[in-house]
Structure 1
Amino acid sequence: INQEHGTIEIGHVNFSSQLLQTRSATEANYLLLQYAFDILGYRRVEWKCTALNAKSRRAALRLGFQYEGTWIKSEVCKGRSRDNSYFSIVDDEWVQLKQEFQRWLNPMNFDSNGQQLTKLNAAQINPRSNQGCQIV
C-alpha cells in the first residue's frame, strides 16, 4: 500500500479448488477492486505473481488486469531466485471494467445451475494492450 502515490496491491490470494473460477471468486475480486477505487480512492491496483504461476497470470488477465512486464530475479523466496510478473488496473480503466463486472454478475447471466450464460469480457474492455504476455 502506498497512499502517497495512490497504489495498492492485491496480496496473496489462495482460493480452495471449490472456489476457483466461480461467480463467488469473481465477485470477491470485483468487491476488492470496487473498495480500492470507489471507497479508498486509489489510482492503481496491482497484481504481482511469480512468473511461473500460469493460473494466477490467467486470472489477472481474465479480471481485466493489464500485463506490464516481468522483473527478472526480483526476489529471493525460500532461498531461490524468483521472477515476478506485474499486472495493473488504473482508475481511468475502472469505469468500463466496473460496468462489465456488474453486467456479468447480474443474476440474469446465470442459469438455474449457476452456470454463466455469457463470459466476463474484462480482458477485452481494457484499452491497454496485453501484448507480450504469453501464458503457457
Structure 2
Amino acid sequence: LDLSVKIMLLLMTYCGYLIQHYPIFQMIWPLMRRCVDRAPKCLSWTANYTLRYATVILSFLLAISIPNLEEIIPIIGVTTGMLLAFVFPAVIESVVFWEQWRKRGCFVLIPNIILNIIYTLLGILFLVIGVHANIVSMTTSKNV
C-alpha cells in the first residue's frame, strides 16, 4: 500500500506540474512561432520542445535558488487563496451584473453591492491577518 501511494503521488505531481506550465507555454509560443514559421519543420519542433524544457528547468532553478521557499509558500498561498475565494469573485460579480441590478432597482442593487463589499473587505482582512501570521512565524522561527 505504501508503494502504491508513493507512485500515485509521483504521478499526480508529475502530471500536475506539466499542466501548470501549459498556460505559460500557450502565452509564449505564439511569439516564438512567428520566428520559426518559415523554418523547416524539425527546427519548429526543436524550438517548441526547447521552450517547454526551458520553462520547466527555469522553474526548478528558481525553486532551488530560493533558500527559504518552504517559508514563502504559505504567504503566497494565503494571498492567492483569499484573493481567489473572496475578493475576485465579489469584484467580478459586481462588474458583470451591475447593469442588471441597476435596471431592477435599488432593492436589488444596494444589497448585492453591500454583500460584495463585505466579501471584499473580509477577503482583504483575512489576507492581511494571514500574511501577518506567516511573517511572524518566519521571524520567530529564525530567532529560536
Same fold (TM over 0.5): no
TM-score, normalised relative to structure 1: 0.25
TM-score, with length taken from structure 2: 0.24
Higher strand share: 1
Structure of larger gyration radius:
2
Identify, as 1 or 2, the structure richer in helix.
2
